[in-house]
Amino acid sequence: MKKITTKMFTLLLENKDERFVVVINHWFYYIEKGRIYRFQQHSNTKMIALLGTFYDGEIDNESMLTEVKKSIINQIQYDWFTDVWKETIVERVSQIPYELEAFFF
């Protein structure tokens, strides 16, 4: 996991070079090639619970990243992702006073 500023998040979206997952207001988003996908409700709930075990030190960064990747593959396979308007998420992120948590691939 890496902490990123809201400004860095916006730059990463514009560059379209990175693939990563970011947590915004207790919701997981997958970003690839500048497109933003929100995790499906059930998958998000599971990932939030897993994030708690990560914070508690029960799993390491590698294990967390593996589970994030599995969740992404599962959601892509069943087309469960929800597209998010870039402008909407950028506006929401710009109002957040803290750094975001991101997992890069």
| Residue range(s) defining the domain that contains residue 84 | 2-104
pLDDT value of residue 80: 64
CA distances from 89 to 4, 11, 24, 81 (A): 15, 13, 9, 15
pLDDT for the residue 1: 92
- Averaged pLDDT, groups of 10, the chain, 105 residues long: 94 91 93 88 94 96 95 83 79 92 93
How many domains, in total, are found in the chain? 1
- pLDDT, residue 33, reads 87
Q: How much is the pLDDT for 84? A: 79
